[in-house]
Structure 1
Amino acid sequence: MPRPPDIGWQHGTMIGGHRHHVQCNYCHRTMIGGITRFKKHLASKRGEIKGCEAVPKEVRETIRKHLASLKPRRPSKKKLRRIEEGAILVPISTNGNMETDASDPDETNTRQELLNLQEAEIHSPKSADQQFIVGTREFFDAFSTISCKDEQGLAPPRATDLGWAHGMMVNGDRQKIQCKYCLKVILGGGISRLKQHLAGERGNIVPCEKVPDDIRTQMQQHLGFKVLERLKKQKDSEAVTSSIQQSKDGYDSEILNAISTREGSGERRGKEVDEGSPNKRKRIKKLHVPQASPIPLATLQHTFASQESIDQADIAVAKFMYDTGILFNAANSIYFQRMADAIATAGPGYKMPSYHSLRGKLLNRCVHEVGEICKELRKSWEVTGCTVMVDRWMDKTGRAIINFFIYCPKGTMFLKSVDASDIENTSEGLLSLFDGIVQDVGPRNIVNFITDSAPCYKAAGRALMKKCKTFFWSMCANNCIELMLKCLGEMDEVKGLLAKAKKICQLTYNNVWVLDLLREKTEGRDLIQHAMTEFVMNFLTIHNIVSFRDSLQQIFTSSIWEQSSLSKQRVGMDVMRIVLDPQFWESCTKIMKVSKPLVTVLNLLDSRERPSMGYLYDLMEKAKKEIMSAFDNKESDYLPYLEVIGHVRDELHSPLHAAAYYFNPSIYFNPNFSLNNVIQKGLLDCIETLEPDLTAQDNITKHKAFYEDAVGDFSRPVALRGRESLSPATWWSLYASDYPDLQRFAVRILSQTCSITRSERTGTMNESVHSSKNRLEHERLNDLAFVHYNLRFQERQPLALVSKALPRGEDDPVCLEGRINNAGDWIVDPEVLEGGGIDRMDVSLPSDPAPARQVSNSGSGNLGDEGGGANECNKSDGSVDS
């Protein structure tokens, strides 16, 4: 019977068909020395190889138990016979460089007894030989292998590899070789690992520091030719395989698997199949024929990454990107460099996966891996609860696509994508869809259910909350703040200001010399500040124009401007009057007093460092006070703006926001905290809704007094310091263990988000999923979307751990560098420009105009489901598609 596959191959990959070259599936390190040495790497067994830092704990424990259960390898009959014939064992090395496991006293005692026996044999008469042999046999079970050396004691018999000229076996063991130069004993890997040690190859062994330069160069050249030899053998194997397949009739399929050659030497790894000896165990080695593309010799000469080879690799990657039309921001993926590293590890001749592999077995494998991660996220929902996020948007064909994301502190998960074009305008249809999602996630796991501000979605959300009665529905906080900015932009005063600002940008971006002059004065910065939605972009651009005030005035008062023909045209004179008008700048400063606090809230809510639920209520209160303070608390000045903002904020408010505000220790213990009626009622609503157990409700109501008075663990010095440094949910999990009901209640509330994750949207992906009418193809595309979104969420998760604030760039939900598709009339307005129109090549756009992500149609046409206007904002029935 064939031997079952070793458990180690479940966690490692054979490299180049060589069973002694194993790549770890977790840390991607390549081990040389076989599957046993690789299992010691997984088990983190010290003394022979560096342990794997990425292996899961359960895998490490399984491998450790497996290694502990293995029986010591008994020596072969041939080795026993050689010992009986009088072969003398060489004393075991006591060199300090040799790595041994000193924690095993039995092995240490056994080695010492062997040394004593050898010394006694040397000084004893020849008649004691037989006694020495018997004594030696008793210790064979304590060691896996005890080999005999040849006459010189340096290399194994019939050894031809040039590496043996620079190293010697220890105790006759081919897997324990001592370097002649630095005297280090290399355990595992054999002579190949010694040659890597001498050649200075890093990654698998420490380079030798004492080897002569000529020897190092010789080894480097030797290893380079080994690669060429391996490729030649692969090519020969392919030819042999093709020949055998052509004459396959009459041959057993197992015969093909018996063809193999040993890499790098003339010695064969196994015996040929002896059909005439049925009683003998047949050793069959499967033929591994990787599909390697031919590699030119010039490539092998650049094994050590010359600048020329690096340039060639860069050009190859660039051509692939240009040929396929992949967006350049794909290079920002963490998997981009990992892909390159994996290909480099595979070595020359690696063939990229085929079209069918990518859409078949590889996709299925990734679906399984991502599914395992999602299972872990689902387990955490029972402790922290979760937030269901309904991300609605319109694709290029006008279909309403809904992506369902599930948020928890451990990570965000993509659940599914639905084409809701037929039911979007009916709250009953949406309610049925939402209810199915609730049953999939689990009603007891959900704490918050978020939609945008579209009327039908709000109605369906409220109906769902009344039906389930175990969680809350709320509107997306980001969507509401964008709606506030939209309503501000529709005020007559602000509308006129935006029209003047757009004239400045239109003239600048449609005249190259003006744009170049401005960028020269602003160090390359642009007037237009791109953002996820038009409303945010409008006010961010106003901020930019104000910051460029001096530069703009210098341009329109310079001699270059006065001498240009543009200064004599109507559009040029209009823009010059605007730039030199003090009233325009006063109006800009005034509107910034209102918009800047709201944009600040928008940025803080999208910080990935902590769940945002515990901060929303406080941020909105601070924004309101900042606006009032900016107008010197003159009610007549700030009241018109606060009334517009207040209508939307009333719709945004949820009892969860009030309860999270109360449970946030950094806010509650602040001297400025005040417990008003809204917060008290919100807290009671949460207790009754989120905690169905009456006893737990009573405990929460009773024990919250200990939190208010900061007694017990709440008063520890470390707890006092942690109020500001720890996230609120973490703080409660550490210092509220004496009150488990209150602790669980607070942690579940503080672990939620109040905004929909929209920055991961990929229009092309959703369009592909919902355009296919073939059932099997549709399932495959659903799998692709499942893997795509969840990999993106995994990519985002580590960023939150290393940075408190997002960089201003493509991953920032407010400021998206390079977005131009929602600039609209900020750049081109044919009615304003004179001269019969402008060719598209004459219009100079902001730098890096490639969009970071595909979004829905921009402009006012996307806003609201039932018309627009100030009346819509006053009723808070508008919505912001993005």
Structure 2
Amino acid sequence: MFSTLSIVIIFRVPLQKHFDIAKIMASGDITINVHDHGIALDDKKGRVKCNYCGKEVSGFTRLKYHLGGVGHDVTSCKEVPGDIGRLFRDKLLEMRRGYLRKEVGNLSHPELPCKRNSSPGSSAMKHIKLELTQTGGSSSRRHIETTASAEDDAAEQATLLNRRVGTGVVTPDNAIVSLPKHAQKCIGRFFFEAGVDFSVAKSIGFQNLIDSTLGHGEIRCKIPAVEELKGWILEEEVNEIQQYADQTKLSWASTGCSILLDVWKAEGGKSLIYFLVDCPKGVIFLHACDVSAIAEDPVAMQLIIEGVLEEVGVDNVVQIITNCTMGCIGTVGKLLTEKYRTLFWTVSATRCIELMLGRMRMMDQIKNALDKARIIAKFIYSDATILKLMRDHINGHNLIKPHKIKCVAPFLTLENIVLERENLKRMFISSEWRTSIWASRPEGRKVADLVGNPDFWNEAEIVLSGCIPLVNVLHLINGKDKPLMGFIYDTMDHAKETIKRGFGNMKGQYMEFWKIIDEYWDNYLHSPLHAAGYYLNPVYYYSSDFHLDEEVSNGLFSCISRMSRDQLTEYLIGQQLRAYQKGEGDFARGKDISCRSHITADAWWSRYGEKCPDLQKLAIRILGQTFDGASRYALKRDTAEKLLKDARNPIEQRQIKDLIFVHYNLRLQHFDEEQEIGSHSTDVAWIDFGVEDITAASGILEQAAPSSSRPKEETQSSEAFNPPVWVLSTSNAGARNVDKS
């Protein structure tokens, strides 16, 4: 048997057909170089002519398969001497077996037809047991117990492959190889995570996909049946995820956790809700349920959420973050915080900023500017000729900036249009434009007039000054790095100060925007945790720009009072706070900028706060929490909607619960990887033509970051943790409160 690691044995055969093969073999010069068996006809196209039958093939690799008679898509050579053909054939089969061993595992299996087993008079097939035990997340350990010798196994594999490759066709008589357990579970995970209908497992297309991938086109693989996907595969996946969840739960007592609620109205008017638990170690999906019957009953909703609190542990929960500001949810929050003094309730930062931007879009100047930007973008992207003309004038860039958050795309696109203002003006007065058919059409003239109208650009500048700072905050919150509690307070202050500077500190212009921000901050977003997080974040506290106002001090002492288990703990925290304020002891080392700027704030407290244990515990529980809600994880609601759609018997209900649990937890586990590759969907529906049209026209569907037009300190990003510079910049004093002067 030839090994893929053996010295290559090459027959050196001259070009003449009548060469004496037996003589060469007898002489001991046994070499087989495929280049001696064909003539290169065209180096550029790689065409090669067989020395024996004269057939042309596309390259020397294909010539090997031609001479060896391997592969159903290559014609076998009828003239090649038998010894040469066999050597090429054996070499190719050995290479293929090596690949199959790696991808599929050992091919020994009781269902494989073997020559000695299928020959007349043979005894019953020997029992070969293949045990596969999974270790780790993605690797597996294979332990093989067999009554047959290793040599017999190899012979059976060779026989199987020889039969298959010889015919090149998978027939009902051919073997069906059972996939290793790990491979079957991977297929199951694909169905569970993607939410694919199980009937796909029965399709010919999916069978061909698996055969081509794992069987290399020569082996027919046995795909798990629907019953297996819903049975042992689902059961094992539930157990593995539950083990991960149990390990994560062990950290809640020390770090605390946040419960994230997503409440929404599904098609048909049903009210659905799901619960996530977020902590520094990871995010876990707990439950999804239909609350249509009690959606408007705050007491009943309170009982539902209390059940989750008891499951997680009331003492472990620092806060509840919801995405909803409507209905009875606000009342539920008040009832819960009154009953549980250690619990805080707030609305997701992303949701609140979306509401702020929504209110700003209702302002006449903002609405007009965004509508005009939409007209310009739609016109340019609706015709390939105009699109090419635009690209020629703006150096191949794009105007449209899609974003996974629906409300952001129009603002980013307008920002791009403003950045290309001069180039767009030149485009609409160029000779190419004037000689085009669009220059004389009403829609073309309308857009050209818009681009040339100073009023449009003035309105656009108002949008950039008043709204883009919030858009930038929204983009940063939903970026690669998880948003942590210690940064939201100063970030919102900084956004307000940027708006103020954008209007040249003219109170009459920036106050309208400030009032909208303060309305949502005061009524929905702000929590004492935000102010305490700002105070306890060493990045800010030990900077020269730290500002202590009434809101910050009240927030800090509210957290100390509510989160302390008794008066003694509250007193000790107050005493230990003095060392932090003065930067004494270990804090003296930790307050250096090199120490506080390259690790997370909660990690900083773990390292430098050991001599102040009560304050350390409080700081870690506050600073390790997020301030954003479930929408960050882009979990598709329609999966829960479909699975919770109809009432079913108890067995089906259990299965549905498991499917939802596995689906969402797999999505959460892969969230960071998907963030890295930007796989989350983007939204361009605001422009009124489909994603397919835009993709065909320009291929611009990448998640876009805010452009470089924003201040330098807001664009830089971090490496490792290194907080981005935008979180290091503190605002001027008093930005949080509306200027009364």
**TM-score, L = length of structure 1:** 0.56
Q: CA deviation at 1:632?
A: 2.0
Deviation of residue 749 (structure 1)? 0.4
Shift in Å at residue 756 of structure 1? 0.9
Which stretch shows the higher mean deviation, 746-755 or 578-587?
578-587
Give the conservation status (yes or no) of the 8 Å contact 1:768–1:781: no
**Deviation, structure 1 residue 453:** 4.2
Residue of structure 2 equivalent to 1:419 = 290
Residues 445-524 of structure 1 correspond to what in structure 2 (within 5 A)?
Answer: 445-455=316-326, 456-522=328-394
Please, which of 616, 638, 643 is the counterpart of residue 515 of structure 2?
Answer: 643
Residue 547 of structure 1: how far off its partner (Å): 2.3
Match of 2:473 in 1: 601
Aligned twin of 1:871? none
Task: State the partner residue of 1:749.
Answer: 622
Cα distance in 1, alignment partners of residues 219 and 658 from structure 2: 32
User: What pairs up with 1:182-221 in 2 under 5 angstroms?
Assistant: none
| CA pair 395-530 structure 1, distance change in 2 beyond 3 A | farther
Of stretches 344-353 and 730-739 in structure 1, the one that deviates more from structure 2 is 344-353
Write the distance in 1 (CA, Å) between the matches of 2:261 and 2:218.
45
- Cα distance in 2, alignment partners of residues 664 and 842 from structure 1: 44
Letter in 2 for 1:767: E
Partner of 2:32: none
The one of 703, 710, 716 equivalent to 2:589 is: 716
State the match for 1:354 in structure 2.
Answer: 225
The amino acid across from 2:165 in the alignment is: P
CA contact (8 A) 1:593 1:630 kept: yes
Partner of 2:112: 235
Q: One-letter code of the match for 1:359?
A: K
In structure 2, what is the equivalent of residue 823 of structure 1?
686
Distance 1:842 1:488, change over 3 A: closer
Cα gap change, 1:607 to 1:221, in 2 (>3 Å): closer
Contact 1:392 1:452 in 2 (8 A): yes
SS, match of residue 392 in structure 1 = strand
Aligned to 1:174: none
Q: Give how far 1:763 is off.
A: 3.6
Alignment check: 8 A CA contact 1:230 1:263 kept: no
Q: CA deviation at 1:743?
A: 0.7
Following the alignment from structure 1 to structure 2, what is the Cα–Cα distance between the partners of residues 259 and 715?
67
Distance 2:161 2:222 in 1: 5
* Structure 1 residues without counterparts, runs of 5 or longer: 1-214, 269-286, 301-316, 328-338, 800-805, 829-839, 853-882
- Does the 8 A contact of 2:410 with 2:686 survive in 1? no
Contact 2:353 2:474 in 1 (8 A): yes
Residue of structure 1 aligned with 2:548, choices 672, 675, 686: 675
Cα deviation, 1:336-355, whole Å, max 9, x if unaligned, reads xxx99995899955433222
Contact 1:295 / 1:349 at 8 angstroms: preserved in 2?
no
Instruction: Indicate the residue corresponding to 1:409 in structure 2.
Output: 280
Amino acid at match of 2:399: L
| Partner Cα separation in structure 2 for residue 624 and residue 510 of structure 1 | 37
* Whole-angstrom CA distance in 2 between matches of 1:266 and 1:348: 17
Give 2:532's aligned residue. 659
Name the structure 2 match of 1:559.
431
Residue 296 of structure 1 aligns to a residue whose secondary structure is helix
Counterpart in the other structure of 2:301: 430
Residue of 617, 639, 643 corresponding to 2:489: 617
Aligned to 2:35: none
- The structure-2 alpha-carbon separation of the partners of 1:236 and 1:343, relative to structure 1 and needing over 3 Å to count, comes to closer
Cα deviation per residue 1:510-559 (whole Å; 9 max; x = unaligned)?
Answer: 33322333245445544332234442222112112212323422332223
Closer, same or farther: CA 357–524 of 1 in aligned 2, 3 Å: farther
Shift of 1:669: 0.6
Are residue 779 (structure 1) and residue 666 (structure 2) matched?
A: no
TM-superposition CA deviations, 1:478-517 (whole Å, max 9, x none): 1111111111100111111122112212322333322333
CA distance in 2, matches of 1:267, 1:823: 62
Aligned counterparts of 2:118 and 2:89: Cα–Cα separation in 1? 36
What does residue 52 of structure 2 align with? none
Contact 2:257–2:317 (8 Å) recurs in 1: yes
Distance in 2, matches of 1:738 and 1:340, equals: 62
Q: Which residue of 1 aligns with 2:77?
A: none
Query: Residue 368 of structure 1: CA displacement?
Result: 0.4
> 2: distance between equivalents of 1:353 and 1:523?
52
Q: Distance in 2 between matches of 1:242 and 1:391?
A: 64
Aligned-partner residue type, residue 600 of structure 2: S
Counterpart contact for 1:452–1:458, Cα < 8 Å: no
CA distance in 2: counterparts of 1:445 and 1:672, whole angstroms: 34
Q: Partner of 2:734 in structure 1? A: none
Distance 1:266 1:485, change over 3 A: closer
Q: CA deviation at 1:697?
A: 0.8
Q: CA deviation at 1:299?
A: 8.6
Deviations, residues 821-860 of structure 1 (Å, cap 9, x unaligned): x3254x49xxxxxxxxxxx9899665376999xxxxxxxx
Are 2:318 and 1:443 aligned?
A: no
8 Å Cα contact 1:714-1:720 kept in structure 2: no
Distance 1:446 1:619, change over 3 A: same
2:285 match: secondary structure: strand
2:169 is the counterpart of 1:296? no
Could you tell me how far 1:673 is from its partner in structure 2?
0.6
Aligned partner letter, 1:539: F
Quickly say closer, same or farther: Cα 1:263–1:633, change in 2 above 3 A.
Answer: same
- Cα distance 1:446–1:841, how it changes in 2: closer, same or farther (>3 A)? closer
- Structure showing greater radius of gyration is 1
Q: Report if the CA contact (8 A) 1:601-1:619 is conserved.
A: yes
**How much has 1:396 moved relative to structure 2?**
4.5
Figure out how many residues of one structure are paired with residues of the other and give that number.
557
Q: For residues 255-300 of structure 1, give each alpha carbon's deviation from its aligned partner in whole angstroms, at most 9, with x where no partner exists.
A: xx999432324999xxxxxxxxxxxxxxxxxx99xx9999535999
Change beyond 3 A, Cα 1:340–1:394: farther
SS of equivalent to 1:480: helix
CA contact (8 A) 2:195 2:663 kept: no
- Note the 1:728-807 alignment, pairs <5 A: 728-758=601-631, 759-775=633-649, 776-797=651-672
Give the 3 Å change call, closer, same or farther, for CA 798–504 of structure 1 in structure 2. closer
Structure 1 residue 232, shift from structure 2 partner: 9.6
Deviation at 1:584, TM superposition (A): 1.3
Matched, 1:261 2:148: yes
2:39 corresponds to = none
1:219–1:527 CA distance, 2 compared to 1 (3 A):
closer
Secondary structure of the structure 2 residue equivalent to 1:418? strand
| Matched residue SS, 2:278 | strand
User: Structure 2: how far apart are the matches of 1:771 and 1:850?
Assistant: 34
1:595 Cα deviation after fit: 1.6
1:633 aligns to 2:505 (yes or no): yes
Distance 1:409 1:399 in 2: 33
Alpha-carbon distance in structure 2 between the residues aligned to 1:346 and 1:732: 57
DSSP-derived class of the 2:274 partner: strand
2:407: which partner in 1?
535
Q: Which residue of 2 aligns with 1:388?
A: 259
Give 1:38's aligned residue. none
Which of 839, 847, 851 lines up with 2:699 in the alignment? Answer: 847
Could you say which residue in structure 2 is the equivalent of 1:206? none
Ranges of 4+ aligned residues in structure 1 off by more than 6 Å: 215-221, 225-229, 237-244, 291-294, 324-327, 339-342, 344-347, 840-844, 848-852
SS at match of 1:360: helix
Cα distance in 2, alignment partners of residues 850 and 241 from structure 1: 57
Q: Is the 8 A contact 2:489 2:531 kept in 1?
A: yes
* Percent of aligned pairs sharing the same letter: 29
CA distance in 1, matches of 2:211, 2:590: 49
User: Secondary structure of 2:663's match?
Assistant: helix
Q: Contact 2:275–2:285 (CA<8 Å) still a contact in 1?
A: yes
